[in-house]
Amino acid sequence: MICSSNTICTREPAAWCRPWALAAAAALLMALAIAAPGARAVASANSLIAEAEELILQGDTISAQIRLQAAQTKGASRQDIAAAMGRLLLAERKFARARKWLGPAQFSPAKRLQGFRALAMLELESGKMNAAKNAYNRALAIAPENASLWAEIARFRYMGGEHKLALEAADHALALGPHDPDALRLQAELVRDRFGMIPALEWFETAVEISPGDVGLLGEYAATLGEAGQAVRAIEVTRFILELDPANARAYYIQAVIAARAGNFGLARKLLERTGDESEDVPGAMLLRGVVEIAAQNYTLAIEALDPLVKQQPTNARARDLLARALFLSGDYKLLIGRFAGVASGGHASAYLRVLVARAYEQLDRRDLAAALLDRVALGPRQRVTPDGLNDPVGAMLAAGNISGARSLTAYWLAVNPGRYDNLTLAGDVELASGNPSAALGFYRRAADIRMPESLFIRRFQALLMAGEKERATSLAEVSLSYNPASAQARRAVAWLSANAGQWDRARRLYRNLRQTGHARDLQLLCDLSQVQMRAGDAQGAAASADLAYRLFRGHAWATHTNALAQAASGKEPAKAKALLAKARRLLGDNPALQKSRWKLAQAHR
């Protein structure tokens, strides 16, 4: 209003002072007073669920369950906690109970992504690949650019044998989230499988910086450090894991492996005991338990650890040989023969296993059966690379000499899934068996783009040598050893190459290291070590190595031959050296190597 000079004006009441506004404000305050406790409860329930999710990542499922139950009492619905409860029960491997929470696929809007991812993991554990794929597709529809989800899908594809597609998904995950800990961890594991331990460490370290409290990630990092020969750093990481999770079985297992490698089997045994029931069915832990029990002369316990492992993995030569040794040392010769006589008479047994079975026959006064096995060891050449899938039809065909049938079958498998590792390695085995190393290398190279375990490394190495590409074989071996310092096959290949190049000291160091790290009863290794020790001027060491090989099996032709040379070089017992050479000639006949050896003996004792 416009006021004249003689009019006294009063200000209108402020809007908030008007009667209708006062009534509305009072009603609003009353509503807020009523709603506030509920709002605080919702906020409290959500924070409890978030705490539970973090605890599940840390492996503390008990504390997580307490948080989830508390969230329910503060108003959280079943749909709010279904995803977290399902993940919790998955972590505890209680799959039937997890399905009650995850199976209905009823999750609150904020938890749908987590819920479908957990449901996919449950279906994977149940072996339902199609159901898992459907769950991942529903998760992708919610978050198509989630890096962690793509990393999980990559693992799913890898598990299903879609190896090339898995690598593509892993790369996509990293592109979406270059700082995502799940994408980084996956890259670290893939780099480890494809290239080796040393290149993977940088990826693991980056992931750990971003997610320092992830005990699963820390466990992979510690294991990789151990395999990279960095035992001190590995122990430091396992101690940190145990600070976060005092009962972490993986940390104790890694410490046990490191102790066993250092020769401290007593400590390894104590650390294994601390893993509890969690490592009972883990193949690596079963093998390690067998080793430490044999070292402690607890042969019955060693058999109990190794027997189920050999049944689970019948082509695991290391486990098979250890079980045979435990049976022999326990005096159970009949069981040893019953379990391994068939394997020993086949084409893929180690010389050590054949010797053990033969010695068992001798203990039962069946020297005729023992002699047949001992003759095979004495006259047999070095074991060639055998097919990767001995239990597959391709492996059986190759063992029977049916190369054309094996080639047809692998061609069909490659047409169905050209990016599957197993299909590529078996196709390479077929070409190698047919004497076509160049074609084999093509398949092996494609397989190595997916992963390169020791079995593939030695195939590639042999194929390169067969193809006359010694420089590439040397490069492959040297790079593999630099990336995988603990690899027995890489050390052996480089030792052989070093010996052929006249680098006797280096070859001696590598062979000696192999002998000290689990290969003390390898006849061929001991013979090779003795040869390079002689060349390096260590006559006494050469004699000791050769004599050990000979004592392990007196009927082995090359062990006898090597011992003859070593004893001659030592100059201590020339008569013994001549007798050994005469025995080697009876075993080997007029072998050209013996002609050279006889000349050496003549020169040494003119």
Q: Whole-angstrom Cα distance, residue 393 to residue 373?
A: 27
CATH architecture of 44-144: Alpha Horseshoe (1.25)
Domain residue spans of the chain: 44-144, 531-606
| Tokens 């995803």 sit on residue | 83
Mean pLDDT of the 302-325 span: 92
Instruction: Name the pLDDT band for 601 (thresholds 50, 70, 90).
Output: very low
In terms of DSSP H, where are the helices of 536-604?
539-552, 557-570, 574-588, 592-604
Mean pLDDT of the 529-546 span: 91
pLDDT digits (tens, 9 = 90+) for 32-86: 344 444 545 555 888 899 988 888 877 788 999 998 999 988 888 999 999 999 9
pTM to 2 decimals?
0.80
Q: Name the token pair of 138.
A: 């529903």
Q: Whole-angstrom Cα distance, residue 494 to residue 481?
A: 8
pLDDT digits (tens, 9 = 90+) for 73-125: 888 899 999 999 999 999 999 999 999 999 999 999 999 999 999 999 999 99
Q: Name the token pair of 242.
A: 């145990």
State which amino acid sits at residue 601. Answer: L
Q: Whole-angstrom Cα distance, residue 415 to residue 408?
A: 11
The dihedral over CA atoms of 323, 328, 334, 337, expressed in degrees to the nearest 10, equals 60
Q: Output the pLDDT for position 605.
A: 40
For every residue of 289-341, DSSP letters joined together read HHHHHHHTT-HHHHHHHHHHHHHH-TT-HHHHHHHHHHHHHTT-HHHHHHHHH
Q: Output the pLDDT for position 42.
A: 55
Q: Output the pLDDT for position 491.
A: 95
Q: Whole-angstrom Cα distance, residue 72 to residue 53?
A: 15
Q: Are 356 and 325 in contact (CB under 8 A)?
A: yes
For every residue of 425-446, DSSP letters joined together read HHHHHHHHHTT-HHHHHHHHHH
pLDDT digits (tens, 9 = 90+) for 473-514: 999 999 999 999 989 999 999 999 999 999 999 999 999 999
